Amino acid sequence: MKFFKTLALAATALTVPFASHAQAIDDDLSYIMVSHAPDSDAWWNTIKNALNLAGEQMGVNVEYRNPPTGDLADMARIIEQAAASGPDGIITTVADYDVLAGPIRSAVDQGIDVIIMNSGTPEQVRELGALMFVGQPEYDAGLAAGQRAKGDGVESFVCVNHKISNPVIADRCRGFADGLGIELGSSMIDSGEDPAEIKNRVMAYLNTNPDTDAILTLGPTSANPTIQAVEEMGLAGDIYFGTFDLGAEIVQAIKDGTIQWGIDQQPFLQAYLPVVVLANYDRYGVLPGNNVNSGPGFVTADNIDKVEELAGEFR
Amino acid sequence: MADTPQAVIDERVKDVSPWRKALIRPELGGIIGTVAVFTFFALLAHDSGMFNAQGILNWSTVSAQFMIIAVGACLLMIAGEFDLSVGSMIGFAGMMIAIFGVTLGWPMWIAILVTFAICMAFGALNGVIVVRTGLPSFIVTLATLFILRGFTIFIPQTLERKTIIGGIREAAEGDWLAALFGGTIGRPFFQWLGDAGVIGVFDRGNRAGEPVVNGVPMLIIWAFVLIVFGHILLTRTRFGNWIFAAGGDAQAARYAGVPVDRVKILMFVFTAFCATVFATCQVMEFGSAGADRGLLKEFEAIIAVVIGGALLTGGYGSVIGAALGALIFGVVQQGLFFANVESSLFRVFLGVILLLAVILNTYIRRIITGER
């Protein structure tokens, strides 16, 4: 008898690496996260870690799934698949409402609780019948940053937009302008995604508009070349410089004093909170009354050490 | 004449036993692989929802997608050529439908027909360049891959300043041709199954009471139609023999009077047609076209065809085999999710299973055909 028990245990141990990371204390609850990120996107590693941590702490099974190439049509199939496997809840993003609305609504109608994280709007969440949204509303994040900059005495700015095609990203600039209480006008420049071009456009803009108080970059893609640009122009530390999202160069620039603050949308919370909310909803029927803003969290020279220590893992 | 026996034994034809005859089929590896894959998942994921109505619909839809592009890739590969532009063609075709139907506001059926014409013209262009220059189709279609993907990003950027165009479902509402790609059939049957409790029904929302599977998507119908068409074309017509001949030894085929160039160009056009069918079904189902649709689909098509027993060098293969290859690919891909495989190991499993399938195939073929 003991032998069989050992055998069964060994078999379980063998299957562990193939099963999901989070070990269940009470494994009647299982949740699936479906992201829109391709395998190559390192930013989502934080999401995976936070998801596993939440699974361990809450004693539920969580799984992470994504379309390997980032193809959203494939993502729709994965959501359909997740719904077919009958989990207690699905955590997903609304990367493209047209493509994903159908599969998400089917899952909701089937009786599966859905929480939207990262991408989406409160209106879409309501329309889809999802429980809540956990993410950083981009306009509000820009607004908060603008108000902070206004408090620091900024009156004009340039917004370096490396993804002009994405209206959500541009909302960050709009919010920032509104927070400062000025017109956006021509302060948003389309920089393209090539580092050399970004650097040269920023230098050109600052040369033709020498009275610019502040620079806002919308992510590492535009921030890194801009750091070089201000360093070469001798403006590092002199011009007010804020950025969205974090990365190794941005962290270093914050330590050097080139960048005043980086806005962290705190992906950790975007993965961690939905699991906690779903588990408590299923167990005790409690649900927060509103959407949760995971950001903006401001990273400055004062709190940079903790961020640096956990960068890529939980931050 | 009268003294000649009816059953003359032609000394040029080697006597082959029926058993051996049954084994010398390109699709044998595919059949064995299909059985193995289904057995594997039946054991590992039988209680995960993979084999309920919704689960079956899920993996058969994914398999049908692979089948549509695999049929085209298979015939082209048998004719001795490759098309690496399939994935880009899918993104391009979807985007063209969105531009014509939504941005320019044309009636959807015109948008679809014009898109088919443009894409098939690109297919023909691929073929003509390959045939006229004698360059490897690998290189020519690699160039097309970049050109089409570039247009797919550039055109919507210029016209709409964004790379995803939505609103196709609304624009296609009530259109007769769009319904051939985006709809489902057999709804009353599934409603009956749902009412009878055979398959699950939605238990909340405004679709409460409707079955979770409300019909067979047209995508699956297209896959079947293309497979049957391709199979008959390849095995029952003179043109089918020409395809084999063109891929086996093009020069010998030319001496025997086979219009090799025409066959190859037509196969490029057919591959483009299959890619456009895929794209049209996709945009009609999801209602939007994105510049990143169809990435890496060309390799998925080629993989399905090779699992299905076709030779990369041309002249050997079968449409049924390619379809089974696509089925294996689709079932493995979705099945691994059902089996709760840790998602970062997904590609490892996929790679191992593909490798096993191809090795098994080659091994069987070598034993049977006696080639070295």
Are A109 and A165 found together in one domain? no
CB contact under 8 A, A165 and B62: no
Are A82 and A142 found together in one domain? no
Kindly state whether residue A81 falls inside one of the protein's structural domains.
yes
A220-224 long-range Cβ contacts below 8 angstroms, 24+ apart: A220/A245, A220/A246, A220/A247, A220/A249, A220/A250, A221/A162, A221/A163, A221/A193, A222/A160, A222/A161, A222/A162, A222/A191, A222/A198, A223/A160, A223/A247, A223/A249, A223/A250, A223/A253, A223/A259, A224/A195, A224/A249, A224/A250
Are A221 and A278 found together in one domain? no
Predicted pLDDT of residue A2: 47
Kindly state whether residue A309 falls inside one of the protein's structural domains.
no
Domain that holds residue A152: 138-264
Are A279 and A195 found together in one domain? no
Query: What ipTM score was computed for the predicted complex, to two decimals?
Result: 0.73
Residues of A in contact with B59 (CB under 8 A): 81
SS3 A59: coil
What is d(CA B138, CA B299) in angstroms, rounded to the nearest whole number?
12
Q: Is it the case that residue A124 has pLDDT exceeding 80?
A: yes
In chain B, domain spans: 29-39+48-362
Residue A30 contacts residue A62 (beta carbons within 8 Å): yes
| Mean pLDDT, residues A127-146 taken together | 92
Question: What is B29-39+48-362's CATH number?
Answer: 1.10.3470
Are A127 and A160 found together in one domain? no
Predicted pLDDT of residue B13: 72
CB contact under 8 A, B343 and A85: no
Smallest CA–CA separation between A259 and chain B, in Å?
Answer: 30
Are A183 and A249 found together in one domain? yes
Instruction: Note the helical H segments in B287-312.
Output: 297-307
CB contact under 8 A, A77 and B61: yes
Average pLDDT of chain A, as a whole number = 86
Residue A238 contacts residue A291 (beta carbons within 8 Å): no
Are A163 and A191 found together in one domain? yes
Phi, psi of A62 (to 5 degrees): -125, 145
- pLDDT tens-digit profile, chain B (372 residues): 455 555 566 777 777 777 766 666 777 778 888 998 899 899 988 888 888 888 899 899 999 999 999 999 999 999 999 999 999 999 999 999 999 999 999 999 999 999 999 999 999 999 999 999 999 999 999 999 999 999 998 898 788 777 788 888 888 888 899 989 988 888 888 888 888 877 777 777 667 777 888 789 999 999 999 999 999 999 999 999 999 999 988 999 999 999 999 999 999 999 999 999 999 999 998 888 888 888 888 988 988 898 888 888 888 889 999 999 999 888 888 888 888 777 667 778 778 877 887 787 777 777 766 665
Comparing C-alpha atoms, which of B58, B294, B304 is closest to residue A78?
B58
Kindly state whether residue A15 falls inside one of the protein's structural domains.
no
pTM: 0.78
Kindly state whether residue A300 falls inside one of the protein's structural domains.
no
Are A80 and A156 found together in one domain? no
Kindly state whether residue A100 falls inside one of the protein's structural domains.
yes
**Shortest CA distance from B63: residue in chain A:** A77
CB contact under 8 A, B342 and A110: no
Residues of B in contact with A129 (CB under 8 A): 205
CB contact under 8 A, B49 and A85: yes
The tens digit of pLDDT for each residue in A218-277 reads 988 899 899 999 988 888 888 999 999 887 788 889 999 999 999 998 999 999 999 999
Are A127 and A147 found together in one domain? no
Are A215 and A124 found together in one domain? no
Are A30 and A116 found together in one domain? yes
CA distances from A76 to A9, B44, B341 (A): 37, 24, 19
| Nearest CB neighbour to B54, from listed A64, A84, A96 | A84
CA distances from A50 to A43, A54, A56, B82, B197 (A): 12, 6, 10, 44, 40
The tens digit of pLDDT for each residue in A141-192 reads 999 999 999 999 999 999 998 877 667 788 899 999 999 999 887 888 888 7
Comparing C-alpha atoms, which of A145, A218, A212, A217 is closest to residue A176?
A145
Give Cβ neighbours of residue A217 (< 8 Å, ≥ 6 apart): A159, A160, A162, A223, A226, A241, A242, A243, A244
Task: Give chain A's length.
Answer: 315
Are A159 and A273 found together in one domain? no
| Mean pLDDT, residues A297-315 taken together | 86
B52/A contact by beta carbon, under 8 A: yes
| Domains contained in chain A, number | 2
Sign, CA torsion A166/A92/B343/B308: negative
Amino acid, res. A252: Q
The CATH number covering residue A81 comes to 3.40.50.2300
What is d(CA A261, CA A250) in angstroms, rounded to the nearest whole number?
9
Predicted pLDDT of residue B3: 53
Tell me the pLDDT band of A22, cut-offs 50, 70 and 90. Answer: very low
What is d(CA B47, CA B245) in angstroms, rounded to the nearest whole number?
48
Predicted pLDDT of residue A295: 83
